[in-house]
């Protein structure tokens, strides 16, 4: 008999379940080691992903640099630069904020895709844990690799801006 709640765990972690569904999931988790282990693994993966995405932020001192540049330009008397610079600063900050939440959302979508893949692989391969674990590790590596390239992109962008 298979009354497991794997397909609800992701929604459970996202707080997307109704009150009744949430209670059912929690009741099941209290009695089923398999599902609570899975929840533990999923939260761990999610934390890893969150940490990676969280580290993709505006580099430290970035705003200071921009403000410093604005200050420099003002003291030089080129006040006409102030408006576009402030607009640029707002735009950059907004972009980082939006990119941050977008990346986080992207992260949880990816998690769901990976999770579904695990399910599919699990069903196809039965108890071939090695291949399932292998595909999970591969997916995580992919996520980390894409995070690093995004981070690299942002760094390059910042470098370019800081060297006007």
Minimum distance of Zn ion from residue 39's CB (angstroms): 10
66 near Zn ion, rule: CB under 5 A:
no
Q: Which is nearer to Zn ion, 36 or 48 (CB)?
A: 36
35 near Zn ion, rule: CB under 5 A:
yes
Q: Which is nearer to Zn ion, 25 or 111 (CB)?
A: 25
Member of 8, 11, 24, 32 binding Zn ion (CB under 5 A) = 32
Q: Which is nearer to Zn ion, 35 or 103 (CB)?
A: 35
What secondary structure does DSSP assign to the chain, as a single string? -----HHHHHHHHTT-S-HHHHHHHHHHHHH-HHHHHHHHHHHHHHHHHHHHHHH-SPPTTHHHHHHHHHHHHHHTT-GGGHHHHHHHHHHHHHHHHHHHHHHHHHHHHHHHHHHHHHHHHHHHHTT-HHHHHHHHHHHHHHHHHHHHHHHHHHHHHHHHHHT-
Q: Which is nearer to Zn ion, 32 or 162 (CB)?
A: 32
- Piece of 3-11, 93-101, 131-139, 151-159 that binds Zn ion (CB under 5 A): 3-11
Please report, as ranges, the residues that interact with Zn ion according to CB under 5 A.
4, 32, 34-35
């Amino acid at each position: 008999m298979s009354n497991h709640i794997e397909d609800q765990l992701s929604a459970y972690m996202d707080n997307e379940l109704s009150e009744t569904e949430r209670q059912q999931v929690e009741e099941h988790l209290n009695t089923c080691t398999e599902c609570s282990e899975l929840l533990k693994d999923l939260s761990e993966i999610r934390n890893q992903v969150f940490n990676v995405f969280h580290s993709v932020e505006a580099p430290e001192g970035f705003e200071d640099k921009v403000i410093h540049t604005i200050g420099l330009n003002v003291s030089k008397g080129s006040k006409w630069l102030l408006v576009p610079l402030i607009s640029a600063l707002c735009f950059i900050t907004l972009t980082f904020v939006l990119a941050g939440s977008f990346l986080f959302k992207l992260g949880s979508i990816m998690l769901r895709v990976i999770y579904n893949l695990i399910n599919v692989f699990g069903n196809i391969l039965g108890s071939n844990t090695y291949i399932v674990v292998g595909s999970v590790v591969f997916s995580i590596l992919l996520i980390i690799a894409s995070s690093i390239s995004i981070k690299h992109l942002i760094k390059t962008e910042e470098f370019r801006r800081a060297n006007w």
